[in-house]
A and B are shown apart, each in its own frame.
Chain A
Amino acid sequence: MKDIRFDVFVPSSLDDALQFMAKEGAEALPMAGGTDLIVLIRNGIVKPKKVLDLWPLREELAFIKREDGWIRIGALTTIEEISNSFLVKDPRYAGFLDMCKQFATPYLRTIATVGGNIGAAHPLSDVTILLLTLDCEVKLMSVNGERWVKLEGLFLDKRKLAKDPSELITEVRFREIPQNASTAFLKFDRRWGHAMGYIVVAACAQLEGDIVEEVRIAFDSMGRPFPERAKKTEEFLKGKRLSGDIIRDACSKVLPKEMKRISDYRASAEYRLDLSKVLLKRALLKIKSRVGGG
């Protein structure tokens, strides 16, 4: 019989929560929405003695703001709140609309959070993959103060983050992208509702006419078991005209050189690589039409 018992600490303030994490260290785990952690605990995969319930901090940590050229999103903002925010109405951030529509199911979107999605450090983390293309920064807080780190360098392995156990993710932010830029998010699975996705891709590109000024592409995995950017493909596309030939070369010649896929019970490596090529092509074309068509 698995031991699924744990104690729950309900903090009265963010400071209270940080004190608790400093005292308990690795003994305790912070829980945002709980859509991942409760499943892990009940399956006996993680066995924390104590769980810090962050939900009471939502008054402080659930927000989406536009401030001094930054978009700031609180770590406890739910996916449903993103789908009701100004972000999804802006054609530049259409990727967020794609993401919200495909994120699990409506009843999970009401409790799944942005911070939890990053903290879970699972390869198929939709919010994380999209945020990677926006060159996002993550705010980590502990009793010793706060620091901003790049989301890109935060992952070490599957379910492993480059942060101290006592640090909490409290906010993410990214620079607003220019008017001639847009985002796209695509996922492929056999069904639409509640899809994890065989592969997930997000892209953000700035186009001057047809010329790619800036492009960032992120996949659920490039070889290691966490979301990463396709840097070589980005380099290849930069400064080029986003035509059918260039997109084809980027997807079928450059991308396979840097991407390593695994085979498992869900899909084979060949199938995943093939899908990656197709979905990247679709993502780039989607951005092209979004920037061009407004």
Chain B
Amino acid sequence: MSRVHSKEEYPYVTVKLNVNGKDYEASVRPYERLIDVLRYKLGLTSVKEGCGRGECGACVVIMDGKLVPSCLVLAVRANNKRIITLEGLAPEGKIHAIQKAFLDTLSVQCGFCFPGVILAVKWLLDKNPNPSDEEIKEILGGHLCRCGSYLRFIKAVKLAVKYLQEGKVYFDIKELRSVSSAR
């Protein structure tokens, strides 16, 4: 980490991040958080600031394989780390099976909480490909959804497990319209 020479009290620091497989360099103030970099500097708007104090789960990202609230991680701490946000879950033009399952079960209502919820589910399914209801509830216990889609989340996770077991990891965005109008 190199410090930019300056007479300022809180000079900019350069941090290197690998976000969704791409390398970035960003100049940040030492007190800035990972969410400030991801959302406001890199424009990854799936990372949402709900409460800003680690209570709502809207800002979670996967950093080096761990689910972390990006509002409580300083940007300097994310230096040289690999970060996955919702945008990095599937290649361009496709969506991940978990996203598809959330659409199919109509889990997403206002859409503020689900980037965090989907990343938490991804993290859970990576460790445990066939979770029980209790395990799903535990992992989503810290994600607040003010539309109250909690029960649909459980349904969606079960559906995502089914898709993944059938080997369907990615779905083409073009096919989505026909699927949802068929419902």
Contact = CB atoms under 8 A, between A and B. Distances in A.
Interface in B52-96: 52-55, 57, 60, 66-69, 71-74, 76-77
B55 A194 contact: yes
14 contacts: A6-B31, A8-B31, A8-B76, A38-B71, A39-B53, A39-B72, A101-B138, A106-B138, A107-B57, A108-B69, A108-B72, A191-B141, A192-B141, A193-B137
A85 interface: no
B68 A107 contact: yes
B142 to A, nearest CB: 3
A105 B9 CA distance: 36
A53 interface: yes
B141 A35 contact: no
B142 A194 contact: yes
Contacts of B53: 39, 42
B120 A107 contact: yes
A7 interface: yes
Contacts of A6: 10, 30-31
Closest 10 CB pairs of A and B: A193-B141, A105-B142, A8-B30, A110-B66, A107-B67, A39-B53, A194-B142, A107-B60, A6-B31, A5-B31
B1 interface: yes
A34 interface: yes
A110 B30 contact: no
A5 B10 contact: yes
Contact of B77 (A35, A53, A80, A108): A53
Given A8-B76, A34-B77, A106-B67, 16 more contacts: A4-B31, A6-B30, A8-B13, A8-B31, A10-B1, A10-B76, A33-B72, A34-B73, A35-B72, A53-B74, A80-B66, A105-B142, A108-B54, A108-B69, A192-B141, A193-B140
Contacts of A120: none
A104 interface: yes
A43 to B, nearest CB: 8
User: Range of interface residues on chain B?
Assistant: 20 to 34
B84 to A, nearest CB: 13
Contacts of B138: 101, 106, 192-193
Interface residues of A, number: 28
Contact of A105 (B33, B52, B57): B57
B174 to A, nearest CB: 33
B25 to A, nearest CB: 17
Contacts of A38: 33, 71-72, 74
Contact of A110 (B68, B137, B140): B68
B120 to A, nearest CB: 7
A236 interface: no
A111 interface: yes
Contacts of A80: 66
Contacts of A198: none
Contacts of A110: 66-68
A55 interface: yes
B69, B120, B139, B140 pick with most chain A CB within 10 angstroms: B69
Contacts of B120: 106-107
Contacts of A42: 52-53
Contacts of A105: 54, 57, 141-143
